[in-house]
Structure 1
Amino acid sequence: MWFIYAAAAATCFGLRGILYQWTSQRPLDRNLLLFGVYLSGTLIALGMNLFMGQPWTGGVLIGLLMGLFSFIANAAMYKGYAVGKASLIALFTGLPPVVVVIVAYLLWGETLNGWQLASFAVVILGLLLIKYSQDLKLGKLKGVQWGLLTLLFFAFTDLSSKQATLAGAATLPVLAVMYGTGAVLFGTVWASGRLQAAGQVVHTAAALDDQAAPAAALLPTTEVAGSWSSGRTFAWGMFVGISNIAGMLFMIPALREGVTGIVSAIAAMNVVFVLLYARFYLKELMARREVVGLALALGGIVLLRVLA
């Protein structure tokens, strides 16, 4: 059953990736968007638990770490895309399962048998081929530090999620704490950015000698011409958050029952959905390496299913 949960998580995360890709082409405040995503997850988890009545045990506090790690991973990823090559950062987003396998072995003694290890390697190779870009050169590694942070903290998010299941934390309470933590962090960053921008404008306005233009007229909102309003951005984030928490609602049970590294690898297959979306909806051509990578990744998942 854990395999079905993991595949369902990959599907939901794939939908989230498609929504993120579409959103990335729009002029909006990313921190406000992610605040909406995490607040949506918080409210959904709390609302569902009103009916489910899952217990709030001490293990749900691990959700604080899950939220912190997820926040750092997302922040590092967006920073990496801002200062480095997108292909380089995308490459790192496919590697967290490797870290998860190693750390899960060190922490909990989880091992893969020979066939599982081979299948896992095939999946990772496929993901790397999908994400690899031929224009990655030693001299073009700007932003690599953000890519490494992205890799590590996405892996830590999966590992802390597994630890929450080992601690006996119920799914909905731990997700409420996780998303609540992320919402507070992203909301704080967004609000501080607004205050900083407003303060800079006020300072600039006060320094002007021209009294013909009142300072109030010089105070812009953080929205430039053509950008999404704060309300629209926040509402869209709340909508995208549905796919995000849906993935975690499947991910937690998969981690509870399955091998951590394999579950992480299957969840990382969400990139396949984004690739198919780009091919059939955006009409982007697929390079040969992407086709080979897609075939390898899917073949590896089939092997994992057979050997599960």
Structure 2
Amino acid sequence: MWFMFAIAASACFGIRGILYQWTSQRPADRNLLFVGVYLSGIIVSLLLNWQAKQPWNDGIELGILMGMFSFAANASLYRGYEVGRASVVAFFSALSPLVVVLAAYLLWSEAPGVLQGVGFAIVVLALVIVRYGQDLRSGQLRGWSWGTLAMLLYSFTDLSSKQSVLVGASMLPVLTMMFVTGTVLFLGMYVADQVRKSRGKKEAVNDTASNLENQQPASAATAPDLTASAAWTMRRTLLWGMTVGLTNIAGMVLMLNALQEGVTGIVSAITAMSVIVVILYARFYLKETMSRREALGILLAFAGIVVLRLAS
């Protein structure tokens, strides 16, 4: 059953990645968007726990650590989509299973079985092949640094999630703590950004007044275009973030269920296959070209999933 949970989590995270990429190309406030994402997680977690009545026991403080790592990872991934190619960012961020499987072995002596190891190797090979295409060979690695940072931070999030399972912390209270932490951090960034923008506007007003006094009107070319950004109001951005957050909370619940019985590195590898969803979106919606090598990588990924299914 853990295998199906991991597959479903991968699908949810893939949809989340598509929504992140799509939104990153719109004039929506990034921090406010993530406030909505995490606020949605809080609401859903509390509603689910209202029914499940899971206790707030020892270990739920790990949710704070998960929230900090998740906050930094999501911010890095979103920034990567803003400045780089979607496929490149997705590739580097999807290598987190390599870190997870090594850390799980060092921390908990947790190693996959022989057949699971074969499946894991095939999946990782697929992740490498699927994006070792023209982008990497030609040096078009825009966004790779943000993707790599997201990879490390998502690895730490997975490891913290597994630790919460090992200590017997209740899943829904842990998730609540995680989303509260993320909400507070992104809200803090949003407020700080608004303060910075307010100061910038005051400086712009002072510069305009100075230009008028010197009879040097400000250039029209430097005036900001507020038409597009005006459409993404605070309310719309927050509500859209809460909508995107439904895919995030669904993926986290499914992943934590998978981690209860599955090998940490294998679960991480399966959930990382969400990159395939993003790459297919990049190919068919964004019209990014897909080489035979990339198609081979996708086929290998599915082959690896089949092997892991047989091993589960």
Would you say same fold, with TM above 0.5?
yes
Q: In the aligned structure 1, how far is the partner of 2:285 from the partner of 2:87?
A: 21
Structure 1 residue runs of 5 or longer lacking an equivalent are 212-221
Contact 1:85 1:142 in 2 (8 A): yes
Q: Tell me the TM-score normalised to structure 1 length.
A: 0.89
Q: Tell me the TM-score normalised to structure 2 length.
A: 0.88
1:5 aligned to 2:5? yes
Question: 1:297 is matched with which residue?
Answer: 301
Q: In the aligned structure 2, how far is the partner of 1:277 from the partner of 1:84?
A: 16
Name the stretch that deviates more: 285-294 or 42-51. 285-294
Question: 1:251 is matched with which residue?
Answer: 255
Contact 1:49 1:173 in 2 (8 A): yes
Question: 2:164 is matched with which residue?
Answer: 164
1:235 aligned to 2:243? no
State the AA in 1 paired with 2:76. A
1:200-239 correspondence to structure 2 within 5 Å? 200-207=200-207, 208-209=209-210, 210=212, 224-227=226-229, 228-239=232-243
1:120 CA drift (Å): 0.5
Question: 1:131 is matched with which residue?
Answer: 131
Question: 2:28 is matched with which residue?
Answer: 28
State the AA in 2 paired with 1:267. T
CA-atom RMSD in angstroms: 2.4
**What CA deviation, in whole Å up to 9, does each residue of 1:153-185 have, x standing for no partner?**
110000000001011111111001111111111
Name the stretch that deviates more: 111-120 or 97-106. 111-120
Question: 2:220 is matched with which residue?
Answer: none
1:266 aligned to 2:273? no
Question: 1:192 is matched with which residue?
Answer: 192
Equivalenced residue count is 299
Structure 2 residue runs of 5 or longer lacking an equivalent are 214-223
Q: In the aligned structure 2, how far is the partner of 1:65 from the partner of 1:133?
A: 36
Q: In the aligned structure 2, how far is the partner of 1:223 from the partner of 1:286?
A: 35
1:17 CA drift (Å): 2.0
3-state SS of paired residue (1:298): helix
The alpha-carbon distance between structure 1 residues 140 and 17, as it changes in their structure 2 partners (threshold 3 A), is closer
Contact 2:129 2:294 in 1 (8 A): yes
1:64 aligned to 2:64? yes
The alpha-carbon distance between structure 1 residues 243 and 55, as it changes in their structure 2 partners (threshold 3 A), is same
Contact 1:41 1:241 in 2 (8 A): yes
Q: In the aligned structure 1, how far is the partner of 2:55 from the partner of 2:19?
A: 33
1:118 CA drift (Å): 1.7
Contact 2:133 2:293 in 1 (8 A): no
3-state SS of paired residue (1:190): helix
Q: In the aligned structure 1, how far is the partner of 2:87 from the partner of 2:272?
A: 16
Question: 2:41 is matched with which residue?
Answer: 41
1:229 CA drift (Å): 1.5
Q: In the aligned structure 2, how far is the partner of 1:133 from the partner of 1:238?
A: 35
**What CA deviation, in whole Å up to 9, does each residue of 1:178-219 have, x standing for no partner?**
1111111111111111111011111332352338xxxxxxxx
1:281 CA drift (Å): 5.3
Question: 1:215 is matched with which residue?
Answer: none
3-state SS of paired residue (1:118): helix
Contact 2:133 2:291 in 1 (8 A): no
Q: In the aligned structure 2, how far is the partner of 1:301 from the partner of 1:6?
A: 11
Contact 2:69 2:156 in 1 (8 A): yes
3-state SS of paired residue (2:61): helix
**What CA deviation, in whole Å up to 9, does each residue of 1:53-105 have, x standing for no partner?**
11101211000010000111122233344555655433211110000000000
1:60-139 correspondence to structure 2 within 5 Å? 60-82=60-82, 87-136=87-136
The alpha-carbon distance between structure 1 residues 200 and 277, as it changes in their structure 2 partners (threshold 3 A), is closer
